[in-house]
Amino acid sequence: MNKNLMLVIIVILLTGTLDLTGQPVQWRGPDRDGKYPDTGLLKEWPEGGPELVLKKEGLGGGYSTPVLYDGIIYVTGRRDTLEVITALNLNGDVLWETIYGRPWMESFQETRNTPAIEEGRIYITGAMGTVNCIDAETGHILWSQNTHKAYDAGFHRWGMAESVLLTEDAVISSPVGEQTVMVALDKDDGSVIWETKSVGGVRSYVSPLMIEYNGVELIIATTSEDLVGIDPSTGEIFWVLDIVTEYTEKGKRISTNTPVYHDGEIFVSSGYDDQALMVSLSDDCRSASVKWTSDVLDNHHGGMVYLDGYLYGSNWLNNGNGNWVCLDWDTGEVMYEEKWHNKGAMIYADGMFYVFEEKQGYTALVEPSPEGFFVKGSFSVDDGRGPRWAHPSIYDKKLFLRHHDVLLVYDIAAD
């Protein structure tokens, strides 16, 4: 067994959790799949929900996800015409705050870009396309590059919501437009390592995904028109799949979700009654094709989770309503479609789903099963205002919820 893997297993067995300081802390968990590695968590919640251990207000409006790195919480928020990242300890004491950009000042102005943190450095994109590298201890900006401006990229209707991806050497940014799809910036100084050719379109709202299949690494990028497979070492485009022309009735696609990957297959879902797609990679990852489509799991922007041969998430009935759905990963067969308050975000840890409903803030612990949506405890988040679009996160046996400018942290440890 690999020594590093053995060490990780020992840490989990001894502590019931995993120290993520040696790997990126980022959007939707270590692998961007909505799965968090904490163990030893409650399997049922008491009436009223788990214990609230921290409530912090005034962090600025945001839909981005709070993250925890080396015992420090990092969260972004919009304050008037500025985007601010705040570092605070688990007692709620603010350690520093740094202005890193200017918000999208048209519709939905709240911050949407979740920090990626690795080896003491924070990488975060501002809403207008500036990629920043920030010292995690001091909050000092080490370098900045506005890739959106440099590559004359195009914004979609509601701006952009990309959370940067980290590779071994690079920070990945997606200034989609007439010049490129994606660029790789050196982690140390922000210089350009590579840039792809253009395939047309403008930015989507999707944060890219890194996968590996048959020993081949691949970045999965999403533009307003296409799904794109890119070599992370060179920027070479392996394939481009049109996800609009044959699979939408409106002739456009409002892509919002990081795709879900498993064993050479990629699930793409966009809401708004657009067909969701199961895409299969060739053995050498040099081509991709649609295996099946779904008219049921058109996830709006709450994310989905693959687990044990099934795909879970919520669908879009209209902008204010949606049901909870389970599909068979191989066939797309609908295992269930159930109403539970409304659509929302979903993540997974230690054998359970965590659901954050977007309209009234109902938060649930759900037992995964293709047979139904089995709630094992719930409560409602009333603090904050506006839609509850920030995805939850789990670190150090704690559930992190964010609603507008309010951060809520709950103890979900089983002992």
- Domain count within the chain: 1
Q: How far apart are CA 248 and CA 259, in angstroms?
A: 17
Question: Do the domain assignments include residue 283?
Answer: no
Instruction: Give the CATH number for residue 163.
Output: 2.40.128.630
Q: What is the distance between the alpha carbons of residues 340 and 302, in angstroms, rounded to a whole number?
A: 14
- pTM confidence score: 0.93
Residues ≥6 apart with Cβ < 8 Å to 365: 42, 43, 44, 45, 352, 353, 354, 355, 375, 376, 377, 378
pLDDT value, residue 15 = 39
Residue 335 within a domain: no
Residue 98 belongs to domain spanning: 64-111+113-204
Beta strand 35-36 with 344-349 is parallel
Strand partners, 408: 55, 401
Name 146's Cβ contacts closer than 8 Å, sequence gap at least 6. 128, 129, 130, 131
d(CA 262, CA 258): 13
Q: Is 124 left (phi over 0), alpha (psi -120 to 50) or beta?
A: beta
The answer to whether residue 160 is domain-embedded is: yes
Check residue 159 and give its pLDDT: 92
User: pLDDT tens digits, the chain, 415 residues: what are they?
Assistant: 333 333 333 334 443 444 444 578 999 999 999 999 999 999 999 999 999 999 999 999 999 999 999 999 999 999 999 999 999 999 999 999 999 999 999 989 999 999 999 999 999 999 999 999 999 999 999 999 999 999 999 999 899 999 999 999 999 999 999 999 999 999 999 999 999 999 999 999 999 999 999 999 999 999 999 999 999 999 999 999 999 999 998 888 999 999 999 999 999 999 999 999 999 999 999 999 999 999 999 999 999 999 999 999 999 999 989 999 999 999 999 999 999 999 999 999 999 999 999 999 999 999 999 999 999 999 999 999 999 999 999 999 999 999 999 999 999 999 8
Domain-located, residue 152: yes
98 in any annotated domain: yes
pLDDT of amino acid 11: 39
Tell me whether residue 164 is in a domain: yes
In sequence order, what are the beta bridge partners of 211? Answer: 218
- What's the helix, strand, coil split of the chain in %, to 5? 5, 45, 50
**pLDDT the model gives residue 21:** 44
3-state secondary structure 327-378: EECCCCCEEEEECCCCCEEEEEECCEEEEEECCCCEEEEEECCCCCCEEEEE
Residue 159 lies in a domain: yes
Is 127 part of a structural domain of the chain? yes
pLDDT value at residue 22 = 57
Contact 243, 253 (CB under 8 A): yes
Q: Show the tokens assigned to 325.
A: 């759905």
d(CA 66, CA 352): 20
Residues 6+ apart with CB under 8 A from 236: 196, 230
d(Cα 390, Cα 409) in Å, to the nearest integer?
14
